[in-house]
Chain A
């Protein structure tokens, strides 16, 4: 009996360890029986291989899932061999995972999180024959020889500008909006700055309350923040806070307020799960099209047009960011209101409106902007 129990406990522990550990899903186009010959085939047919490092886990209904979708598109449309490596949250595994990927017979090694900059700077110069893509942040090109690295950042401030405009249009009663940011740091405040400016472009008297739970993995806390905001009269909320933001969504649904999704089309995500009630409160989403950016970079490189060794900033014009214009969006906003958004979007693309950014903004400037719209 004791032995049996001990055995059982060991079993449970092993599954636990496996659960924590890095899992690798090999999405290669060849199946198991052909695995041995796939390498040869790859070189014969000239099919390229790409590896995506997810320094977290898939299933975030956002950033990583979007990147994975881009990889699947490469597989389907370009016939590439793709592999996705999930490292989990353990920071100590990120650099080794990147190094392992670089050792593999891959042409492109792709990382999609701001936190991967340092591992990228350490590993990329050691493998000059491989191409490294860094999404959503940039390596310091000044500090070393990164000729084989391409970086793309997203103008989340431009996307948030449109989100703010939509929110301001919808806040018809109290003219008050809410914002929940994971932490009070420049990349998150970049969303806020765009959101504020976009809302001001529609309604100069708009009020915006910004709060920061200080935690990305506490949905209950996010819900409390959402409740506080809706009690303060916020009619539309926008959360850039990872899973904590999902709690804000739930608070918005409970209070029957609008919410704007982030990173991917979250309304579609909920609708796919059959949760129509939540889906219809997510009036639109500010999407960072990471998957499209990966696809675009590989496509450009195949044509030989990719500027390796540089960093690019993808805005609305490049399709890097944008609003999810789904059924909920088109049925909630009237045709005139939608046209208003299109006009603003056109002006941003044409450069008539330049959206401010929190990157490089001093705390005093940011506070001034935040306080200017505080109720």
Chain B
């Protein structure tokens, strides 16, 4: 019991929560943008995976990790737009297009990895770069808080910054208004002469930027190489975070953090006497509890709204 408390209430635990949350936050911000625009973008997993690979290639054969980061973002945008082209312009079923893309990303990344590195497992053979970790000047000297908040990978800070960016974009800019109307009232958008298709493409493009960053973090921050299917379902967890956060940036970010806490708990609780199977269940248990709590809250507020309407 004592070791359990030690494992949970330590600075290293909270430090690892931020690290675990980084790809989830970035990907869930991408999901928030697209679901606000009325698109179910389950292709974000494949986008992350593809960007992770191109980032590694670009940093190894190009001009270092930052170049790789930019290429990963560009890849993310191109992939997202390709999904959009298939599902919106060519009118393919969007879920099927996304599933096809995700499957293709798993096989395609291995194919290109083998073509270039002659290795089907990992790109360890490539001398690819790592995005730097950053010490924050004043905060790093504060005890406890400094240990938790300082010395993270630069992408982790970008991820938290992106929450603000996405919030401002969605609620404080004309583009955000258009993105939200593309989801809630597409006809209203068309009636004022704004192209629905264009707005949805822009939304997909932005989600591609965020997905690309998430992918770059996996292969150039978390670990320093690409390995087959290394995103391991994080894109889907981000989608769940988006759903649980009711497609709001703050809600999705908090849900991502909640998942990250559960995930990090499942790592550190394994050193205790609790059976590992039970601990591994935690992240999924939290997901279900979260979704149930959200659904309960929603049906209650719905009921209230109806009662209010009835009174009027």
Contact = CB atoms under 8 A, between A and B. Distances in A.
Interface in A4-55: 5-6, 9, 12-13, 15-21
**Interface band, chain B:** 35 or more
A281 interface: no
A215 B127 contact: no
A232 B271 contact: yes
Contacts of B106: 20
Interface string A165-202: 00000000000000000001000000000000000000
B271 A211 contact: yes
A52 to B, nearest CB: 15
A19 B112 contact: yes
B264 interface: yes
B124 to A, nearest CB: 6
A126 interface: no
Nearest to B218: A220
Interface string B203-232: 000000000000000100011110111101
B163 to A, nearest CB: 21
A166 to B, nearest CB: 22
Contacts, number: 133
A130 to B, nearest CB: 28
**Interface band, chain A:** 35 or more
Contacts of A60: 120-121
Contacts of B16: 224, 227-228
Interface in B104-155: 104-112, 114, 118-122, 124-125, 127
Interface stretch (A97-105, A243-251, A320-328): A243-251
A269 to B, nearest CB: 8
A68 to B, nearest CB: 11
B85 interface: yes
Contacts of B120: 57-60, 86
Contacts of A218: 230, 232
Contacts of A217: 227-230, 232
Contact of B114 (A59, A220, A247): A59
A141 interface: no
Given A17-B107, A217-B230, A9 B86 contact: yes
Interface string B84-104: 011000100000000010011
B22 to A, nearest CB: 10
B85 A5 contact: yes
A215 B232 contact: yes
- Pairs of residues from A and B, 5 with the lowest C-beta to C-beta distance, nearest first: A19-B111, A20-B107, A16-B104, A57-B120, A59-B120
Given A13-B104, A21-B107, 8 more contacts: A9-B85, A16-B108, A57-B114, A58-B120, A219-B222, A246-B124, A246-B225, A274-B127
